[in-house]
Structure 1
Amino acid sequence: IDLPWIETGVNTPAEAALVVITLIYVVAGWFNLRIPDTGARYRRQHRNPLTLLHKFVRANRLLWRDKLGQISLAVTTLFWGAGATLQFIVLDWARVNLGMPLSQAAILQGVFALGIAGGAMWAARVVRLRDSLRVLPVGVAMGLLVPLMTLVSTQWMAFSLLIVVGSMAGFFVVPMNALLQHRGHVLMSAGHSIAVQNFNENLNILLMLGIYALLIRLDLGVNLIILMFGALIALLMIAVIRLHHANQREFDSVALIGEHKH
């Protein structure tokens, strides 16, 4: 990066990318500082590590046992694990199927992210919290759509498919995230809910990336991995839907949406 009379020390694309990312974080931090004070105050929290661990384990168990919490937590956990893995799959897929170098393949990751953003905005406009569970079949459809990547042979086809897949991902994960935050607020504090969510999501990211690394080590082709990946997403989403239907047969858990904090 060359600036008049200033030696930035930024001489490579990687360094420039890090500078841009850092600036984005600074801007995001500034936005956080501008969030108005809601007046909400928590009572003094424990600082003993064992006490905190016990409270976290209890919160994690509570959210997984809740009929709505377990569905939304399962979906968001699956989404972040699958999303992180797909980022790496896309790079290898672009290299093998499209002949794109890493610098160009990274553009496909951005296209996928744009799709997620678009789907998320659309979901925010058209899906009410009470209707959030109706988007679950979109997750199945997304899993079934992923294997079409193996048939793509041009960059424009790749752009189009990733936009669609990303849009579907954003469309079904935003209502699930909203539902999870709602149940977390009802059952516990927002901080505990976010901690449980982040723990499970990052744990699944590590798990799915570990499985992907194992498949790479076994020298499986990227197209076979994509087929397995799409099938896994679809099957897991079907399992989540069946679990939700089983919960509904016990009692109408959807009626709990909108419930006030305990």
Structure 2
Amino acid sequence: MHRQARIGNPHNSTKILLNVFSFACLIITNRSYFHGIKQAGDTLLHSGMRMNRGFYTIMAAQFFSSLADNALLIAAIALLAEMSSPGWMTPLLKLFFVLSYVLLAAFVGAFADSLPKGRVMFITNMIKIAGCLMMFTDVHPLIAYGVVGFGAAAYSPAKYGILTELLPAEKLVAANGWIEGLTMASIILGTVLGGALVSPHVVSILLQWHIPIFDWHLNTPTHAALIVIGILYIIATVFNLKIPDTGARYPHQQRRPSKLIVDFANCCAILWKDKLGQISLAVTTLFWGAGATLQFIVLKWAEKSLGMPLDKAAILQGVVAFGVAIGASAAARMIPLKKSLTVMPMGIVMGLVVMAMTVVHSVWVAYPLLIIIGALSGYFVVPMNALLQHRGHVLMSAGHSIAVQNFNENLSVLTMLVLYALMIKINLDVNIVILLFGSFVACIMFLIMRKHAANQREHDSLALIGEVKH
């Protein structure tokens, strides 16, 4: 299909973008959010976040790097459409992105712990820039986005690990509310920005730019979009350079691959055997696999059920992320670490609500429904993520625990995306896909809750929450 037919009028997209992003930022940054942290007993965190420039710098670096990642995904989808690639290839973009999280899991934790976290974030963000440049120079989008994923895989243990170095255990839920809230804000803006950058109106403006060094390159819409996205990565890199050294140092890291793999396998076993670790890891593993798949389900559903082109469908991805930001903010205010496991029923509810998408054919009904789905997701994943980070930090180093988490979560992403791509390849109706997806999420969450109840009958594992590192 011709590009002009696939991309809609950008003016409405821009208006919705401004309204949604402004509201998201208001929720994340307004005074009531800090007041909520105070009410939860996190007065010290309130003061530290209001005054600690280093924390803000970390948040800014994460925001712009994630912003570029999400805008690049939409640009890559548009590039595949421009190349007339088959529909089943679109979810493979995310698959190639997360492949490094699985293949490099045994090594990135040691790398993150071998250097100050700010320096690790700088190096890995440069790898992302290289991937963006590859796409600009007409390397296949799957390969180029895979390189960006390579950088992201090494970036993640440093991004989350630095939180455990900066903050005590009781502050991690609120800190995760911050980082997840800003990440979701970046997804809101990134997905909609990506759609806007490949829309005809914005493209016509970008192609009028005259940059002497790159002038001969700016002859396609995607090349113009990639210039803007590259600038976002550069901004993130500047913030990476300003991240302070926390002073945390770990023992000399093993460099032999065979030894690293054995150590990583041991770390996986430790976390899965831990009664709290296994439950929180199972929940976050399910969430990220489901979330990555839902990202593409929403695009397909918007096309088939709502008749929306790519730039407008990208807005719906942002709407889900907006809901996640609301849920993350609420969890940060209302759920202390000790109560983190009480949110698990929200996972079942989320799976059931997702199935309601099959009866929606109006954009104005779709918006609140997707916000509810996102809010339920954010509300239950932030406390579980904080609990998992806490147990990982107690049982092993920050970098290794995050690497174990990334391995499991992204193995789930790979598995669920492959299954989704197969369903698209056999032309399964999108409503059937949605029903299968929602049922799967609800059933798995029910089984996880049953497992936690069985663990509690054997031993009160909740007493371990707040335990200090040995």
TM-score (norm 2): 0.54
Query: In terms of mean alpha carbon deviation, does 147-156 or 111-120 score higher?
Result: 111-120
1:178 Cα shift? Answer: 0.5
Task: Tell me the equivalent position of 2:390.
Answer: 182
> For structure 1, which segment, 35-44 or 138-147, has the greater mean C-alpha deviation from structure 2 after superposition?
35-44
1:101 paired residue number: 309
Instruction: Evaluate the alpha carbon distance shift between residue 179 and residue 23 of structure 1 in structure 2; reply closer, same or farther with a 3 A threshold.
Output: farther
Distance 1:25 1:179, change over 3 A: farther
For 1:81 and 1:57, how far apart are their aligned partners in 2?
A: 21
Equivalents in 2 of 1:114, 1:158: separation in Å? 13
Q: CA deviation at 1:28?
A: 3.1
**Map of 1:95-134 to 2, 5 A cutoff?**
95-134=303-342
SS at 1:227 equivalent: helix
Name the counterpart of 1:150: 358
Q: 1:84 — aligned with what? A: 292
Residues 237/16 of structure 1: CA separation in 2 closer, same or farther (3 Å cut) = farther
- The structural deviation recorded for 1:37 is 2.1
Matched-pair identity in %:
61
What CA deviation, in whole Å up to 9, does each residue of 1:123-181 have, x standing for no partner?
11211111110110111110010011011111111111111101111111111110110
Does 2:432 correspond to 1:224? yes
Pairing 1:183-222 to 2, within 5 Å after superposition: 183-222=391-430
Deviation >6 Å, runs of 4+:
none
> Hey, what's the Cα distance between the residues in 2 that align with 1:62 and 1:218?
40
**Pairs within 5 Å for 1:56-67:** 56-67=264-275
The residue that corresponds to 2:245 in the other structure is: 37
Q: What is the total number of aligned residue pairs between the two structures?
A: 262
Letter aligned with residue 326 of structure 2 = G
In the aligned structure 1, how far is the partner of 2:238 from the partner of 2:394?
29
Instruction: Give 1:173's aligned residue.
Output: 381
The separation in 2 between residues aligned to 1:4 and 1:224, in whole angstroms, is 45
Aligned partner of 1:239 in structure 2 is: 447
Equivalent of 2:463 in 252, 255, 260: 255
C-alpha distance in structure 2 between counterparts of 1:107 and 1:175, whole Å: 27
- Give me the whole-angstrom Cα distance separating, in 1, the residues matched to 2:404 and 2:335: 25
CA 16–233 in structure 1, closer or farther in 2 if over 3 Å, else same: farther
Q: CA offsets, 1:205-230, max 9 Å, x none?
A: 11001111222233221101101100
d(CA) in 1 for partners of 2:386, 2:221: 37
Q: Does 1:159 align with 2:367?
A: yes
Report the CA distance between 1:32 and its aligned residue. Answer: 3.4
Unaligned runs of 5+ in 2: 1-205
- TM-score, with length taken from structure 1: 0.94
**Is 2:324–2:376's contact at 8 Å kept on the other side of the alignment?**
yes
Q: What displacement does 1:33 show?
A: 3.2
Give 1:6's aligned residue: 211
Give ranges in structure 1 of 5+ residues lacking alignment.
none
Q: Distance in 1 between matches of 2:331 and 2:235?
A: 26
- The 3-state SS of whatever aligns with 1:6 is coil
Q: Contact 2:355/2:438 (CA < 8 Å) preserved in 1?
A: yes
State the 1:186 CA deviation: 0.3
Q: Distance in 2 between matches of 1:191 and 1:178?
A: 15
